[in-house]
Structure 1
């Protein structure tokens, strides 16, 4: 594996071979590219891959889809610049923000939720700065696989009530959407299978149109007021420190996702990119902060785009530049954003049933892949407490601060795991206590010697 991590310009790429073909067993590295026509085509594929999930977050949270798309494109460009063009990634909407945004909306409205996103983004940037200076060893110690898996799982399962609420508003449409997503994902291979969520939502939307559940008045109004081209809707954040407990725990997930993304790219390209882990986290933190300042949702690296790279063997960051520019271009068509915003609750409920469950099961996957031992009482207890707190959405008010299910579950995971692990290690290093002498006369001399 190459360890060459010398800085390169994020705006210069070497032509891979003749730019038209990839030799068997080779990949197009981040600093390479194919012909510009092929590079543009692959960039378009990345937009399609991120589209369904990126738009689902603003649909569920109520944020303007076009604004979220704009900031995802800008965030991707920022990520490419900060990582010096060495880490290919698209920054789409993070599902980890859905639960805290929903809770913050109820307490302080959209502006308050945006303030929470900004707080999370700044915190994530600071963590990235520390990682860049001190390395990742301290993060591994703080968040071993048991802890990371538990936090990811509780974030997904905490969203279950929201999925149910939308599902039950139009159960027939929701069931069609859910069934379509499941069938497409298992019947089709390649790109079609990877787009199961987007295609399932489209089928669900068509079903909703037939059943008269779609309100087209918003689309007509947008066309009359803004025309074909116009800037997305922007909104400034408001800061309420009592919401910090809802958003700060999300950075643990974003850190894990960014480090996992860097390691995945390194594994597939054969390059050592560990020195860019801190930059990746800082870039995501800055992108999330900027999105929150203007009315967009928080961002994260996208597994969907990892899938596109794995399928095409093209890891060129040039393709991501085009993907980001495509996203920005789409965001300036107001009618496009209004059409996305018209997706009804039943469709969202069907898609969310799959997606929220997937988020929860990703936590379980982390446990399985790292062979977490649940016969160990420390692991079992920490995960059990975290999941119940997250699923039941426990809340704890301290003065003006309120800590809800995700925040409490995250704190419980860290505290319970590290406290129990410390006690267990202390007991292992301590001498065994003397056992009481048995009154049973059958105790033999060897047993007495061992006891004494």
Structure 2
């Protein structure tokens, strides 16, 4: 029995029809759509290693391998590309800054990536066995949106640092990125960041800001460089707390991805893959962390391609995963990506980090979060100020450090759940024998 049934005549789609995950068009059309997915993920995936100092080819290799593993674990029932997760940028940057540049810093950061991957696997197993409802209770929309938003806004200082390196080029890149997003519709509009980087790169070349020396020296074909987690690095274990909020973001992204695909295909049974999706992303992230790649996640850019083409075939993602692996085997390609100037990064990250924050706001809007409730107001307000202000707890003697993302995430969780608990106790009454559960789940929205 073939892995995919041919949809219709294999060339065109009927009005209103979609190509389901277990279907495909003919191979030329499937390959073309798969390469579209590569282009869609590309701008976001390569930015993460550039910004964190990780090797680009290695990240691209494990992005492709992770995508293939995802398809295998979900048994070809859930289309998804696993690219570099922006949620890792802040903790990886902090970890490498504390442990030093080069292999030592990367080794320390990889410990955190591996820890996130393992924890996500465990959560995926629990969700697969017990269902996703407990996730909804612990991570309701107001919390999910706040955590995603605070990670984006916490990176504002990093964007400014890059911007200040070459403000003229950064301004041009930012303007080009915005222009592409506003002018273009469909697929081109969804890859506006990628197009903005290209435009900024050309502009920087005219200004003499490019250094091509390493590009000339790089070989056309070769294996990526590998790094390994350094579990013995002093202070490594104290850094793990910085990575834990990333798990919550990955949960929100994967659950949202599964629900999005289920809605767009009209197949509610796809929601049954939620646990396997979390396990698959956890396996991919763990594997990447063990060999020097960035942590992975599902990609909204690729959801956009599926929405535009109405092709949800997992065959296209096999093409995308294999193409990413092949691209990773060219050191010269990686050197070209690493030659992107600071000014270009400054312009694109100003937009990109802000968009991460706005995605969190969109979660609030899409789920109609009620901000007339004080507990919701303070959940978002306190956490966002802590993240933007860069609140920190640091002990110079022991080297222990908690950054703004950790503190803000913990604050958001405590404010929300303790606030709801107090409201529920007040409503129930201290002497009321009725059990607390009768009033509703803590993750709900009590009147």
Same fold by TM-score greater than 0.5: yes
Question: Within 2, Cα distance between the matches of 1:344 and 1:20?
Answer: 42
- Superposed, 1:53-452 pairs within 5 Å as 53-108=44-99, 109-222=105-218, 227-239=219-231, 240-272=236-268, 273-397=270-394, 401-430=400-429
Task: Please say if residues 16 and 32 of structure 1, whose CA atoms lie closer than 8 Å, have aligned partners that are also in contact.
Answer: yes
SS at match of 2:8: coil
CA displacement, residues 227-279 of structure 1 (integer Å, 9 cap, x when unaligned): 21100111111132111111111010000000000000000111121211000
Post-superposition CA distance 1:396-432 (Å, at most 9, x none): 2476542211111111111111111100111112289
C-alpha separation in 1, matches of 2:178 and 2:257: 26
Partners of 1:82 and 1:354 in 2: how far apart? 34
Q: Secondary structure at 1:315's aligned position in 2?
A: coil
Equivalent position SS for 1:249: helix
CA offsets 1:69-126 (integer angstroms, 9 cap, x no match)? 1000000000000001010000001000000010000112111011111111111111
Whether the 8 Å contact between 1:245 and 1:401 is mirrored in structure 2 is no
- Which residue in the other structure is 1:17 paired with? 8
Q: Distance in 2 between matches of 1:326 and 1:349?
A: 29
For the residue of structure 2 that corresponds to 1:79, the secondary structure is helix
1:375 CA drift (Å):
1.5
Higher Cα Rg, which structure:
1
Aligned counterparts of 1:330 and 1:33: Cα–Cα separation in 2: 24
Q: Structure 1 CA distance, aligned partners of 2:389 and 2:241?
A: 17
The 2-side partners of 1:33 and 1:221 are apart by: 42
1:30 to 21, 39, 44: 21
Distance in 1, matches of 2:106 and 2:384, equals: 28
Task: Name whichever of 389-398 and 300-309 sits farther off.
Answer: 389-398
Q: TM-score, normalised by structure 2?
A: 0.92
Q: Tell me the secondary structure at the aligned position of residue 248 of structure 1.
A: helix
CA distance in 2, matches of 1:107, 1:208: 31
Whether the aligned pair in 2 keeps the contact of 1:76 and 1:90 (CA below 8 Å) is yes
- What is the CA-CA distance between 1:190 and the residue it aligns to? 2.0
Q: Distance in 2 between matches of 1:199 and 1:364?
A: 25
Root mean square deviation, CA, Å: 1.3
Alpha-carbon separation, structure 2, partners of 1:347 and 1:44: 25
Taking the aligned partners of 1:380 and 1:196, their CA distance within structure 2 comes to 33
Query: 1:207-239: CA deviations, max 9, x gaps?
Result: 1111111111111222xxxx2110011111113
- Aligned partners of 1:431 and 1:400: how far apart in 2? 44
Q: CA deviation at 1:201?
A: 0.4
Give, in whole Å, the separation in 2 of the partners of 1:183 and 1:354.
12
Secondary structure, counterpart of 1:402 in structure 2: strand
| TM-score normalized with structure 1 length | 0.91
Partners of 1:374 and 1:43 lie apart in 2 by: 41
